[in-house]
Structure 1
């Protein structure tokens, strides 16, 4: 004769309590927990995810090396580049006006007078071509005038006449008809028939 032993357990998947009957012989030894209808002791469960995963260490040849920074060679290279770079050569400044030996001699005579006088060169709108030279005797230059010194003598140039006479040569002409200062102006594009005026 077979007896029925009831065993209860809790299912993990469905969460429902189920009853299971197991046929056993009448004379078979029965455990203490089975006589009182107790549930079977559960075995300790181990999670399948508890197994440690070993991550292999990267090989030395695949490790990215950090770049090293040494500022001293860079500074030396920059200094070498700056030293090799050719310097820009500035063109010499064009003289405002040059004086011939005859002009220097006559200007020196003016400065040796009891009342020293200097010549101020300017231009005016007059004549056939538009501009004519204008000379004044002054004792000192104005606020915006340019002073040209050559061979110990000084000539004053009006600031308004700089563009018209820059690069010119001043000479002293002494002939039978007259004695006067003349100018050889490279900026002149034409003169009138009498030579009194010029055009730039």
Structure 2
């Protein structure tokens, strides 16, 4: 038995050397075999490195951002806008004051006309003088005066120094701003008018046009 064992050891050593030589020759002929073995070894070593790198990246990642503060209103925005519009509409708007211009008097009386009208009003039967305009004469319009007890519905009453004169509403456009005078001479005694609206008169002065 001892001889067999001692005889067999060199054989085993020789077989092991041949096996190693065979493996090295395979690795030279086929490099993928060696690469697979090397890759297996590298994977065994790379796992802890990757885990360490991932841990490092996790530790190096920036801190989460803080949430910004937002004020949340209790009412919706549309309702707030409506309330603002209502409050703005409720505010009274200031209107510009208009400068009041004095109204133009329909007719003015001269001192002579006042004196004659006062004499008529103090008589036994006081009456009012009504002034109107009629389509007549060369130029188209003439003054018409008459005595009346009271003015009509749409007549205009002009009062000056306590004296009243009635004017027909249809004649206001033609005689507004006129001056009424009393003329007493050898030829006639009558009321005459200085009308700024007159564009021309006839030769006798009885009619005018506007």
Q: TM-score range by the shorter chain?
A: 0.5 to 0.7
Residue 61 of structure 1, CA deviation: 2.9
Residue 58 of structure 1, CA deviation: 8.0
CA distance in 1, matches of 2:65, 2:104: 77
1:165 match: 175
1:197 aligns with 2:210: no
Greater helix fraction, Structure 1 or Structure 2: 2
Q: TM-score, normalised by structure 2?
A: 0.58
Which of 61, 80, 92 aligns to 2:69? It is 61
Q: How many residues align?
A: 138
CA distance in 2, matches of 1:139, 1:129: 31
Aligned positions of 1:19-98 closer than 5 A: 59-63=67-71, 78=91, 82=94, 85-98=95-108
When Rg is computed on C-alpha atoms for both structures, the one with the higher figure is 2
Q: Deviations over 1:52-81 (max 9, x none)?
A: xxxx9982434556788998xx67xx46x6
CA distance in 2, matches of 1:57, 1:94: 80
CA distance in 2, matches of 1:140, 1:57: 96
Stretches of structure 1 that go unaligned for 5 or more consecutive residues are 1-55
Stretches of structure 2 that go unaligned for 5 or more consecutive residues are 1-63
Q: Secondary structure at the match of 1:61?
A: coil
CA distance in 2, matches of 1:180, 1:90: 37
1:108 aligns with 2:118: yes
Q: TM-score, normalised by structure 1?
A: 0.61
1:141 aligns with 2:148: no
